[in-house]
A and B are shown apart, each in its own frame.
Chain A
């Protein structure tokens, strides 16, 4: 039986396709792994199974019409997608948003960061075999989605920011409910940590897996928790602050070894820092209008702009070229997951096949953003 011989021979390089339909690839990602026995020699990610032509679509839609489409790129973190796009158009048009709008945007973005990290934790733990954190974390995510629903009407594809601010003011009692949620969240995070952080099986699966050092991380262009897990202090909210992030205090967690465990710790701490930011924003929320004066028809002047936000996955950038019309001439999105995924072959080289799922989970990829 040729298959048996091949397997028993051991030293033959086999090409294994971690197909597009697989429970652990977080979307339709195809990985072609070259394995030598059990060790991985090379990995080639093949994407494009979720390409929907979003950037081409933007060329036909007016600027306000583009915003719902940005929701659907990284569908786990719609608010930060919106924030990037409207921030880019506002930068192009020179609009300053009112302070209340900036604070509301910050609260929504940080809530969205927590929600996105919850999805990351749930699926990462599930891939490594811990089935229960999924349910505990999603219960908290339900509460976040309820808050979103009360504010803008939708839970996942929010369409919650407009050029010039946010469309509506907060409903009555929203700040109290939000405050109650963020007061309870740290205790729940402790519960989840008790299941994972010191667990010897978890550590055995994640310590030393997918290591990348700081220089290589910068060379590959990684951003977000993969970069910070390797020890580089780089967060767009601190380096190029937008939306009044310079008025709130928060820390940026960094790791030391650049392995999966450090990235896990970085994201858990980021959730706590988001709680800190939300608390401060709720305390400092100023009064005033929530929308700046913008013309009825948005027609930015000719020019180009690059604007980036710190999304949960990394630096989400929008490069918009405007020709003076009502629709953009070109919108290029810098998806953080796309750039992070490029480092996958580097991260899995020499590891076992079972570690590939851990590495995919730790990069936190969302195919909607990679393929657009």
Chain B
């Protein structure tokens, strides 16, 4: 072993290097974000709580079919209406339920929707509750009003006009 090798094994240079690294980080800027006083803003495409728009939904049931866990339950009936003397039929939603407690937020439903009636890019994730079964089963009213869900500061619930932060069409416009 060379002389320097011997010295290096007796004087713990490697240990001092480790101590120096830890000592350097002692004075570095700390990475803690003090929740709930500070919050990190999620990205635009962040998949959070659902947003739903009754007007845009045309009951194609694409979301129901696309969901891997089958948590979207849709029931509808046909109604007749008249426009310019012609009789037309349209579907009216009776029930649009999402069992959010089972959701894995995979976004397949939003990708399947042709009219952006359901979306996950709402930057909202604070839907914690004390009782899971009732509180996390959302029917269409609760879904639009975001009952029991705390929106991220600055985000509006769908009933108040909240829109997706990421349009799946391709352009990203920040709205809502």
Contacts and interface: CB of A to CB of B under 8 A. Distances in A.
Interface of A: 61, 64-69, 132, 135-136, 139, 142, 146, 149-154, 157, 159, 167-169, 171-172, 191, 194-196, 198-201
Given A68-B104, A168-B45, 13 more contacts: A132-B25, A139-B31, A146-B43, A149-B45, A150-B44, A153-B107, A154-B46, A154-B107, A159-B108, A172-B172, A194-B17, A198-B14, A200-B9
A24 B15 CA distance: 25
B68 interface: yes
A199 B21 CA distance: 12
B99 interface: no
Contacts of B14: 198-200
Given A68-B68, A171-B172, A198 B43 contact: no
Interface of B: 9, 12, 14-15, 17-18, 20-22, 25, 31, 42-47, 66-68, 104-108, 111, 120-121, 166, 168, 170, 172
Contacts of B18: 194-196, 199
Task: Report the 6 A-B pairs with minimum CB-CB distance, sorted nearest first.
Answer: A68-B106, A153-B47, A65-B68, A153-B45, A198-B14, A150-B43
Contacts of B108: 64-65, 68, 159
Nearest to A198: B14
Given A149-B45, A149-B46, A200-B12, A195 B104 contact: no
Contacts of A201: 15
Given A136-B25, A200-B14, A65 B66 contact: yes
Contacts of B172: 171-172
Contacts of B67: 65
Contacts of B111: 167
Contact of B45 (A66, A152, A198): A152
A108 B39 CA distance: 26
A64 B66 contact: yes
Contacts of A195: 18, 21-22
